[in-house]
Amino acid sequence: MNRVVITGMGVVAPNGVGLGAFTNAIKSGVSGITFHQNLEDANFSCCIGGIPQVSEEKKLEYLTPLQLRGFNSSGILYGCMAGMDAWKDAGFDINPESTLDYDSGCVFGTGTSGVEKFREAIYKLDAGEVKRLGSTVVLQTMASGISAYLGGILGLGNQVTTNSSACTTGTEALLMGYERIKRGQAKRMLVGSCSDDGAYIWGGFDAMRVMTYKHNDAPEEGSRPMSTSASGFVPGSGAGALVLESLESALERGATIYAEVLGGHINSGGQRNGGTLTAPNPEAVQRCILEALKNSGINANAIDTINGHLTATSKDSLEIENWVQALDRRGSDFPYINSLKSMVGHCLAAAGSIESVATVLQLKDQFVFPNLNCEDVHPGILELISDEKIPKQMIKKEITIAAKASFGFGDVNACIIFKKYN
């Protein structure tokens, strides 16, 4: 069983495109949530969201003019950018003439792919213009489009696939890649996830009334995880990517090591015992956390900080209760806990990977990033843990072990444990 480490990362987030910009943003508590007129024009209740700022010039740093011709899939774009950045950050060149690498693979998830491209294709088909669809419509709209793009750009010869499990997608992708390296089936795996943005992705959530409608005039105040005044999540988009590698391989080539992946667990609540399509089964959540600890070979007291799922809905208090029960830690004994969603919104399928990048950065630079908009912490949460464990400003602190969890639609769960590499 190989030890698995992280040797490269890339991120395309609403509050920072690129690892440097993103690191500065999360340390400073910079929000990437803005007002979008097109949502108001479409009669959305929630007219704010997190969309990465990517210029046309920036796109050309990653994809050729030929690749970008007829390109209309924001999630795939974000995923390619994050994945290519992570690959280069790990010390590898990107060369279309490079030799096929059978030791390296990819698990890169998504929820839906190329919705805008699919809409464009539907209009052409309805007009009888099937011959004008273009040669890339299939690649841009198939679920595995993102892994297909990255597999070809990087010349990956090991497993190349796409996973999809709602908000748990990114964290699940990490654990899938981890298992492959741990068992000796690959030396390196590029893992991550991405999500499209805009009305055609977010409309269903607006119709469900799970997104906030109270902060259209103050977007940066809209995402309020763990807050008494939370009124629903703010939608976001983007991509996160990490290069996982066997410790032996990383040491062999003198790679920079961000952190070690100790282990984790994936399960489902089966929509039983209080779990539904949209609400987690508490027993399964707690079991997921406990099994992650067991698989990582640590006890609950070893966790220094938690990056929770925490979406700014009524389920935030339940999530904290599940952590308290699983860890058997409460009050001032509870680890620090934060939610990146306060800065970027809920990035849906991309959430787990973007938040994992943020979690690993904390271990690398020894800090805990702040929670925005939760000066009024929910009283149900304060009955369980101390207020100081929910930092409102960045804390510089020695941390060794961090937990990251995601709990997705369909009652699916994943928890991963990272450790500072010594």
List active site positions.
167, 309, 346
Tokens describing residue 121 = 């294709």
Nearest one of 8, 399, 297 to 177, comparing CA atoms: 8
Instruction: Count the Cβ atoms, other than its own, within 10 Å of residue 21.
Output: 15
On the 0-12 / 13-18 / 19+ scale of CB atoms within 10 A, 135 is: exposed
Q: b/e for 42-57, b at 16 or more Cβ within 10 A?
A: eebebbbbbbbebeee
Contacts 24+ apart (CB under 8 A), 246-253: 246/2, 246/3, 246/4, 246/5, 246/181, 246/187, 246/188, 247/2, 247/3, 247/4, 247/5, 248/2, 248/3, 249/103, 249/187, 249/188, 250/5, 250/7, 253/91
Amino acid identity for residue 174 in this structure: L
| Contacts (Cβ under 8 Å, ≥6 apart) of 7 | 90, 91, 188, 243, 244, 245, 250, 255, 256, 257, 258
Q: Please tell me what DSSP assigns to residue 239.
A: E
| Contacts (Cβ under 8 Å, ≥6 apart) of 303 | 327, 335, 401, 402, 403, 417
- The answer to whether 269 and 382 have CB atoms below 8 angstroms apart is no
The DSSP annotation for 113-161 comes to: --HHHHHHHHHHHHTT-GGGS-TTHHHHHSTTHHHHHHHHHHTB-S-EE
